[in-house]
Amino acid sequence: MLRSRHRAAQARCEEAAEAARRVGARGVEGHALNSLGTSLGSRGHLEAGVAHLEQARAIAAELGDPDEWCRACHNLGCIYLVHGRYEEAVRAELEGLDLARRFGSMGSYGPVVIAEAAQALLWLGRWEEAERLLDEAFDLDLDPRGMVNPLLARGMQRLWRGDLEGARKDLTWILERSKLSLDPQDYVPARAWLVTVATWEGRPEDARAVVADGLASLAEADEADLMAELCLAGLAAEAALAARAAARRDEKARDQACRIAADLLERARAAAGAYGIAVTGAVRAKLLTVEAEWTRVARPSDPDRWAEAAGAWDEVGCPWPAAYARWRLAEALLERGVSREEAVVPLRRAWATARGLGARPLLGEVELLARRARIALAPEPAAAGAAESAAPQPAAPGDGLGLTPREREVLALVAEGRTNRQIADALFISDKTASVHVSNILAKLGVANRAEAAAAVHRLGLTG
């Protein structure tokens, strides 16, 4: 088992470090501590891992060994990244970058320390800094193996920014070159983010094979953070598939989504509990989001779960996933039929964060939810803005029909083939109100039924 091999490797590192210490072989001791600290930190023992790596870094500095010094800084940054200690991760990796520049090691360590620092900056919402670092990485003469880490970070950045096609190309490139004996820390996130790309593009069915491949590659691994990352992406895809099946009244497809999602949930829970280590930081935030995504599949979406996930992401300083959780929190509250005032605060916070980051897909979804729920996301315009809005506006298609903005929204859903119940759910109104809107629309369009109304939408150019 891979887990047993991890323990055996850890034991060998401990023995090597102790033996080297006894005979005063400082270089050998530092190398062994470097490996030991990385192994412990990646398996949940953060404090012990940091202690060993700081010892290794001190020994390398004492001996003037640039390779071990860079390696210790990079490994320290990696385990901080795994545990969601992103500020510390940035500092450690940038120290490694400074060393790589000083000692002429940019060809070997430059790409990896830049990429890990960029990932940490992306989690922290410091996207412009991350992009500048990645530009530096891609200016290097990188071989295929050296391209992996920068492409992984850029794929993540493009995904959150909304360049889904660019993200797909970067992440697919990595997976197509998995024969390069990539580390799971590289190819598992690539699969997870590729799943997320497919979900945001409206292709959640394409995500299943990618998730299955990722689960197969983690069959004997024990990294809770990697399993949580992959299962989280898979659960979001299954939630989208379950919602689509429910809209089509396809119980077979919905049951399949629920079965797959339940398996992902159990895998994430099992990985977290494999060693009985207290789950903290980003791993905890991911697992709480896994639990929240599960409620979207099982229905109804649980606002308490989403609030807990948002709080956990706030604790580790990650604005994008916190905003995502607050969007889902507002959605869950509205689906429960609570007053709009309860959903306003999380929805406005999600909107402000997504807008500030320039996270286009998330911003679009937040604004769509606000429109459907008739929630104003920004303060009313000042007098000058009101004067501008009073200026004559060009006529829009169908203006002469007398349709209200809400009736236009209902008509768009009628054109999609939605039932009154589904229209009510989408717009957070009662079935009766939806029925009244549909009747009024049919009368204003002068048509006899929903099919004729749908045809009128295209004939009159109302699809926008």
| Coil vs helix vs strand at 278 | coil
Query: Can you name the CATH fold of 402-459?
Result: Arc Repressor Mutant, subunit A (1.10.10)
List per-residue pLDDT tens for the chain, 464 residues long: 334 445 556 667 777 667 767 777 888 888 889 898 988 887 778 899 999 999 999 999 999 999 999 999 999 999 999 889 999 999 999 999 999 999 998 988 999 999 999 999 999 999 999 999 999 999 998 888 889 999 999 999 999 999 999 999 999 999 887 655 667 778 899 999 999 999 999 999 999 999 999 998 887 666 788 899 999 999 999 999 999 999 899 999 999 999 999 999 999 999 888 755 567 789 899 999 999 999 999 999 999 999 999 999 999 999 999 999 999 999 999 999 888 889 999 999 999 999 999 999 999 999 999 999 999 998 655 544 444 444 555 445 555 566 777 788 888 888 877 888 888 877 877 777 878 788 778 777 777 788 877 777 766 666 54
- As a residue count, the chain comes to 464
| Coil vs helix vs strand at 462 | coil
Q: At what angle do helices 26-42 and 46-63 cross, to 10 degrees?
A: 150
| Coil vs helix vs strand at 385 | helix
The pLDDT of residue 381 is: 54
For residues 97 and 105, is the Cβ–Cβ distance under 8 A? no
| Coil vs helix vs strand at 6 | helix
CA distance 235 to 115: 27
The pLDDT of residue 128 is: 95
Non-local (6+) Cβ contacts of 384 within 8 A are: none
Helix, strand, coil shares of the chain, percent, nearest 5, are 80, 0, 20
User: Where are the alpha helices (H) located in 124-183, listed in sequence order?
Assistant: 127-138, 144-161, 164-176
Radius of gyration, CA atoms only, the chain: 26
Q: At what angle do helices 360-373 and 420-427 cross, to 10 degrees?
A: 110
The pLDDT of residue 451 is: 80
Domain boundary assignment for the chain: 183-308, 402-459
CA distance 258 to 24: 59
Residue where the block lists tokens 């069959």: 219
Is 339 buried (19+), middle (13-18) or exposed (0-12) by CB count in 10 A? exposed
Non-local (6+) Cβ contacts of 71 within 8 A are: 34, 60, 109
The tokens of 346 are what?
A: 């999380």
- CA dihedral (392, 393, 399, 400) positive or negative: positive
Residue where the block lists tokens 């809770």: 224
The pLDDT of residue 75 is: 95
Task: Work out the end-to-end distance of the chain between its first and last CA atoms, rounded to an integer number of angstroms.
Answer: 56
The tokens of 381 are what?
A: 């315009």
For residues 65 and 172, is the Cβ–Cβ distance under 8 A? no
DSSP letter string over 208-228? HHHHHHHHHHTTT---HHHHH
User: Where are the alpha helices (H) located in 24-143, listed in sequence order?
Assistant: 26-42, 46-63, 66-82, 86-103, 110-123, 127-138
Is 204 buried (19+), middle (13-18) or exposed (0-12) by CB count in 10 A? buried
The tokens of 122 are what?
A: 């992306």
Q: In angstroms, how far is CA 156 from the centroid of its own chain?
A: 8
The tokens of 162 are what?
A: 């909304």
